[in-house]
Amino acid sequence: MTGIVEILPKEYGYIILNLTAYYFLNLYMQIQVGRARKKYNVSYPALYATEADTKDYKLFNCIQRGHQNSLESLPIFFVLMVLGGFKHPVICSYLGLAYTVTRFFYFKGYSSGDPKGRLPIGGFNGLALLGLVIVNITFGVNLLKA
| pLDDT tens per residue across span 89-145 | 999 999 999 999 999 999 999 999 998 888 888 889 999 999 999 999 999 999 999
Report residue 1's pLDDT band, with 50, 70 and 90 as the boundaries.
low
Closest residue by Cα to residue 122 from 102, 101, 98 = 102
Closest residue by Cα to residue 21 from 88, 91, 77 = 77
| pLDDT tens per residue across span 48-89 | 999 988 899 999 999 999 999 999 999 999 999 999 999 999
Report domain 10-145's class. Answer: mainly alpha
Break the chain into its structural domains and give their ranges.
10-145
Q: Is the peptide bond before 45 cis (omega within 30 degrees of 0)?
A: yes
Q: Do 13 and 93 touch, CB atoms closer than 8 A?
A: no
Looking at residue 129, its pLDDT comes to 97
Rounded Cα gap, residues 130 and 72, in angstroms? 16
